[in-house]
Amino acid sequence: MNLEGRKIIVNKSSKELTEILKSPENYKDFMPDGLQKFETREDGFKFGLQGMPEIALKIDEVNDQKAVLKSASSSLDFSLTATLNPINENQTEVQMLFEGKFNPFIKMMVEKPLQNFINALTDKIEAYK
């Protein structure tokens, strides 16, 4: 299952974004409304949103072209990637991409909430100062 967020322009260089995305505690700023729990870990974070199970993510790779978060749970196989495309030295185009391997039943249950989550993340990143 693949989902995409809309492409947005962030008023930060890709280098600035890379530094922000390397640090687990900064992801709290991007979480959608309804955040009920947020815990940082050495290599990632765990969060809980209203009406959803808690999700643990590890920061797998961050460079000036992308930030890749992967599921920290062996029972869920998915990744969330933010592609970073520099426009100029002060602006970067960002797009969230979700890729997950789910059975058809799980896919049917999680597809809409995941798309809403990606859209909310995109909005928060776009508004980030």
Distance CA 86, CA 29 (A): 22
**For the chain, what is the domain count?**
1
- Which domain does 46 fall in, by range? 2-127
Residues 6+ apart with CB under 8 A from 69: 44, 57, 58, 59, 60, 79, 80, 81
pLDDT of 129 strictly over 80: no
pTM: 0.92
The per-residue pLDDT for range 53-72, each reduced to its tens digit, is 889 999 999 999 999 999 99
Give the model's confidence band at 52: pLDDT under 50 very low, under 70 low, under 90 confident, else very high: confident
Query: For tokens 């920061």, what's the residue?
Result: 59
Helix (DSSP H) and strand (DSSP E) numbers for the chain: 2, 8
pLDDT of 50 strictly over 90: no
SS3 content of the chain, % helix, strand, coil (to 5): 30, 45, 25
Q: Which residues, listed in sequence order, are joined to residue 75 by a DSSP beta bridge? A: none
Q: What proportion of the chain, given as a percentage, has pLDDT over 90?
A: 82
The per-residue pLDDT for range 22-34, each reduced to its tens digit, is 999 999 999 998 8
What pLDDT is attached to residue 51? 78
pLDDT of 90 strictly over 90: yes
CATH number, domain at 74?
Answer: 3.30.530.20
Whether 56 contacts 43, CB under 8 Å: no
